[in-house]
């Protein structure tokens, strides 16, 4: 399964770094994410978010859902 990882860093001047990993489950995705956080921001990270990464080609949009497409 593909996961999107977002890490917040930078203290008062918050910034975000987003990347994807592929793993069998969320625990493995978090382990991979820990290894992929860039060293230059690792000490300043205060939040990590994990989401299932949606394939944009498979996503339904509001207009499509209401028109029956």
- What spatial distance separates the first Cα and last Cα of the chain, rounded to whole Å? 26
pTM equals 0.76
Q: In what order do the strands lie in the sheet with 2-9?
A: 15-22, 2-9, 45-52
pLDDT of residue 61: 66
Residue 32, SS3 per DSSP = helix
What does the block give as tokens for 69?
A: 């497409």
Per cent of the chain over pLDDT 90 is 74
- Regions of the chain with pLDDT less than 70: 59-69
DSSP state of 10: S
Per the listing, tokens 């992929």 go with: 36
């Amino acid at each position: 399964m593909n996961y999107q990882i977002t890490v917040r860093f930078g203290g008062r001047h918050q910034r975000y770094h987003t990347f994807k990993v592929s793993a069998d489950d969320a625990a493995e995705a978090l382990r991979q994410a820990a290894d992929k956080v860039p060293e230059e921001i690792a000490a300043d990270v205060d939040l990590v978010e994990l989401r299932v990464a949606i394939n944009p080609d498979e996503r339904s949009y509001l207009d499509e859902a209401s028109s029956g497409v």
